[in-house]
């Protein structure tokens, strides 16, 4: 077994591998392969690195953002060389997984253990047979109208594709708007009636279907919000929690639109049993299987989101949070608007994964004029396609989305080994 070490300060590891009777063809810096693949290395040095990659059966590379990229993977694939990633943290492990590499070894791995990994060959990674699907999805966002209701509506419509039954609930106690934007009558029973029935123990799937309003033929049933914000005491924490528990047996997915405020200051009142204005939002977030946090993709929207994000995390605990930057446009952020939003959220909020929805005023205005979802008015608009991708990749977790049907997902390097065996 011939091995190339792309590891910083790898002389000691190379000596240990040689004691384990592993042929080490060379030791280079961790960034050498990346520089050579991007033509950023001088001629003789680049040729030496490329020659070593071609001669080796495997490359042990120290994974980081500066050393691993798709160009490095393509370089090793062309040479038929296996990549053994070496990682020192969860961030670099996710980077290795994103590049399709095999199970990484630790940065402080012993030489004998690394020799065993090299001799064993690439590990086969099979996708899980089932993956948990979020049943209750709460769409939240900070103050300033970042587009919570729009995202909730479009997400519900996209989730209904494929024959799924989706419930769309307006639980906003400050400014409910779903019924107004979709042209639905807000004088009907709505979510408040569902909460009252849940408190009396009479809420089931049949009752929910009776009081819900179907949204055309999309497969979405809407529980409209309060027609007057002064009725907010009807959405108590216990009622909302019971109603959402009943929705799990009613719909495949339940998308809940909530208000922005997460304040608990009213709890300092002497009446500890009194109603709470934000009880519906807090109860929905605690009952959620997935929280979609919407941020406005502009300087003010990102600043407001970062200030409220810490309180959101304290409220939801370990519940997964998918961050969506809405209304992305270059005018408010200049060059590389997407990169600026991503770097800002990563630096000040520790948010690494961000989904982007573009600003599409023409489609949004047409949908508002027709009182219909944007997906119905402009099915090929950039916003609709972005929401569809978000729903398919971040919300709906199916085995088919992980790997093609009937085939097992394999790490890079298996194809060369199988071809040699054949």
What are the tens digits of pLDDT across the range 318-372? 999 999 999 999 888 888 899 999 999 999 999 999 999 999 999 999 999 999 9
Q: Give the pLDDT of residue 213.
A: 92
Average pLDDT over residues 382-408: 69
Residue 138 pLDDT exceeds 90: yes
DSSP assigned state of 227: S
Residue 237 pLDDT exceeds 70: yes
Q: Which residue has the higher pLDDT, 420 or 301?
A: 301
Q: DSSP string of 188-216?
A: S-HHHHHHHHHHHT---HHHHHHHSEE-T
Residue 139 pLDDT exceeds 80: yes
Q: Give the pLDDT of residue 49.
A: 85
Give the residue range(s) of CATH 3.40.50.2300 domains in the chain.
2-127+408-421
Average pLDDT over residues 286-298: 95
What is the reported pTM? 0.64
Q: Give the pLDDT of residue 162.
A: 81
CATH class, 136-397 region:
alpha beta
Segment among 2-16, 23-37, 87-101 with least mean pLDDT: 87-101
Q: Give the pLDDT of residue 411.
A: 38
Residue 221 pLDDT exceeds 50: yes
pLDDT confidence tier of residue 276, bands split at 50, 70 and 90: confident
Q: Give the pLDDT of residue 334.
A: 80
Element (H, E) at 370: helix 361-370
Segment among 14-23, 85-94, 368-377, 409-418 with least mean pLDDT: 409-418
- The neighbour count for residue 406, using CB atoms within 10 Å, is 5
Rg (CA), the chain: 26
Backbone φ and ψ for 70, nearest 5 degrees, come out as -60, -30
Give the residue range(s) of CATH 3.40.50.300 domains in the chain.
136-397
Residue 419 pLDDT exceeds 50: no
Q: DSSP string of 278-328?
A: THHHHHHHHH-SEEEEEEESSHHHHHHHHHHHHHHHHHHTTS-EEEEEEEE
Do 83 and 121 touch, CB atoms closer than 8 A? Answer: no
Average pLDDT over residues 37-59: 80
Q: Give the pLDDT of residue 124.
A: 53
* Cα separation of the two ends of the chain: 20
**Distance of CA 84 to CAs 8, 109, 382, Å?**
15, 12, 39
pLDDT confidence tier of residue 208, bands split at 50, 70 and 90: very high
What CATH code is assigned to 2-127+408-421? 3.40.50.2300
Task: List b or e across 108-125, with b for residues whose CB sees 16 or more CB atoms inside 10 angstroms.
Answer: ebebeebbebbeeebeeb
User: Considering all CA atoms of the chain, what is the largest pairwise distance in Å, rounded to the nearest integer?
Assistant: 80
């Amino acid at each position: 077994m011939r091995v190339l070490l792309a590891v910083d300060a790898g002389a000691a590891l190379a000596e240990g591998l040689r004691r384990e009777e592993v042929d080490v063809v060379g030791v280079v810096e961790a960034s050498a392969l990346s520089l050579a693949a991007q033509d950023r290395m001088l001629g003789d040095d680049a040729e030496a690195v490329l020659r070593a990659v071609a001669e080796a059966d495997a490359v042990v590379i120290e994974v980081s953002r500066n050393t691993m990229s798709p160009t490095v993977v393509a370089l090793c694939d062309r040479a038929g060389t296996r990549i053994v990633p070496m990682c020192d943290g969860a961030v670099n492990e996710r980077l290795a997984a994103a590049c399709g590499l095999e199970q990484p070894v630790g940065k402080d791995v012993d030489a004998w253990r690394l020799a065993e990994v090299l001799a064993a060959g690439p590990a086969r990674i099979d996708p899980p047979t089932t993956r948990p699907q979020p049943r209750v999805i709460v769409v939240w966002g900070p103050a300033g109208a970042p587009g919570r209701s729009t995202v909730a509506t479009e997400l519900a419509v996209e989730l209904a594709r494929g024959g799924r039954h989706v419930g769309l609930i307006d639980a906003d106690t400050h400014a409910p708007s779903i019924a107004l934007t979709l042209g639905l009558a807000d004088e009907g029973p709505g979510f408040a009636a569902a909460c009252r029935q849940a408190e009396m123990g009479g809420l089931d799937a049949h009752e929910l279907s009776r009081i819900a309003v179907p949204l055309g033929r999309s497969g979405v049933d809407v529980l409209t919000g309060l027609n007057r914000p002064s009725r907010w005491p009807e959405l108590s924490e216990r009622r909302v929690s019971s109603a959402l528990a009943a929705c799990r047996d009613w719909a495949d997915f339940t998308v809940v639109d909530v208000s922005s405020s997460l304040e608990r200051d009213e709890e300092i009142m002497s009446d500890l049993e009194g109603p709470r204005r934000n009880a519906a939002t807090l109860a929905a977030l605690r009952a959620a299987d997935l929280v979609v946090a919407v941020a406005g993709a502009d300087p003010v929207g990102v600043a407001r989101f970062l200030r409220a994000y810490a309180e959101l995390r304290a409220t939801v605990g370990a519940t997964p949070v998918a961050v969506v930057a809405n209304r992305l446009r270059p005018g408010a952020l200049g060059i590389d608007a997407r990169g600026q939003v991503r770097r800002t959220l990563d630096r000040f909020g520790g948010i690494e994964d961000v989904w982007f929805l573009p600003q599409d005023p023409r489609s949004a205005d047409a949908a508002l004029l027709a009182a219909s979802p944007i997906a119905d008015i402009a099915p090929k608009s950039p916003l609709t396609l972005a929401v569809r991708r978000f729903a398919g990749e971040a919300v709906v977790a199916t085995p088919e989305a992980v790997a093609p049907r009937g085939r097992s997902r394999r790490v890079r390097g298996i194809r060369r080994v199988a071809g040699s065996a054949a």
